Amino acid sequence: MKIYDSFGPNPRALRMFLLEKGVEAPKVDVDLLGMENRRPPYTDRNPGGQLPALELDDGRVIGETVAIFEYLEERFPTPPLVGSTAEERAEARSWQRRVELRITEHLYNGFRFAEGLELFRPRLRVLPEAADGLKATVQDNLAWLDPLLAGKQWIVGPRFTMADIILYAALDFGRGVGQSVAGQLANVSAWAHGRARPGACTRCPRRSGRRGDLGGSLGLPGLGGAVLLELAVERLARDAQGVRGQRLVAADRLQDPEHVAPLDLGQRHQL
């Protein structure tokens, strides 16, 4: 099997998931800025055009991030990131849906319809008039989540799951595009920013965002918009601040994906 990869929070979430599983797979880089994912031959494999995608040994392609997670969970059940029992899996899936429907989709569309408007205008229908409301909805639902995290290590209590990976990738992306977690949300902030981090660093590849020419190449009107989008893409281009064994990784220190040291599961730390 192989991964169709790029920068962005969803490809990054898959890299985190793979690191957690200790699974390595070859990666094919897809030029997202060049819209390679929106035309053949990529859309022949994945008609939705989104990233990441997983190509199986028999040539079939899975094109939805959570569906990829579920497939990998069945193929590589240890450590469990969805669940080991029917009850655990149902609980993790419930929280995954809550996180996506209440928070992450609004966060991404808030960016697409504002700072990322000129990047996404040729790719999908954009609604710039909705951007402020979407961003406010993210904060409303983070406020809903905050008391529910009180006293918890992870979103699903003591178990680290795909819900943590999905939300972490989204919130860290949001931090880079002006959608930070409100300071008064103490539980979400503690979960997202970390109470303890080890000095050792898991290694995986860093992306680069071709700084300097993004404003011109995307035709953004005016320096302000160009700078905002450049910062957003540069943030996206930082690689998989991988969570492996619940360890956050500083992306600007990441290097070789082929030499991932085995994880001592006794060294788990809170996000």
Name the band, by pLDDT with cuts 50, 70 and 90, for residue 149. Answer: very high
Specify whether 90 is located in the same domain as 166.
yes
Any bridge partners for residue 190, and if so which?
none
27-29 and 2-5: which strand pairing? Answer: parallel
Enclosing domain of residue 252: 2-79+199-204+239-267
Mark whether 46 and 11 lie in a shared domain.
Answer: yes
pLDDT tens figures, 75-113: 999 999 999 999 999 999 999 999 999 999 999 999 999
Which DSSP state fits 159?
Answer: B
Q: What is the phi/psi pair of residue 29, to 5°? A: -75, 130
Are 33 and 58 in a shared domain? yes
* Residue 41 located in a structural domain: yes
- pLDDT tier at 192, thresholds 50, 70, 90: confident
Q: Could you give the CA distance from residue 132 to residue 146 in angstroms, rounded to a whole number?
A: 21
Q: Given pLDDT bands bounded at 50, 70 and 90, which one contains residue 230?
A: very low
Which residue in this structure is represented by tokens 């409303």?
A: 140
Q: Which residue has the higher pLDDT, 155 or 239?
A: 155
Residue 1: pLDDT over 50: yes
pLDDT digits (tens, 9 = 90+) for 201-212: 233 333 434 322
| Domain CATH for 16 | 3.40.30.10
The pLDDT tens digits for 13-64 are 999 999 999 999 999 999 988 899 999 999 999 999 999 999 999 999 999 9
220 in a structural domain: no
Q: Can you say whether residue 18 is alpha, beta or left, with left for phi > 0 and alpha for psi between -120 and 50 degrees?
A: alpha
pLDDT of residue 194: 58
CA 157 – CA 230 distance, rounded (Å): 37
d(CA 175, CA 232): 9
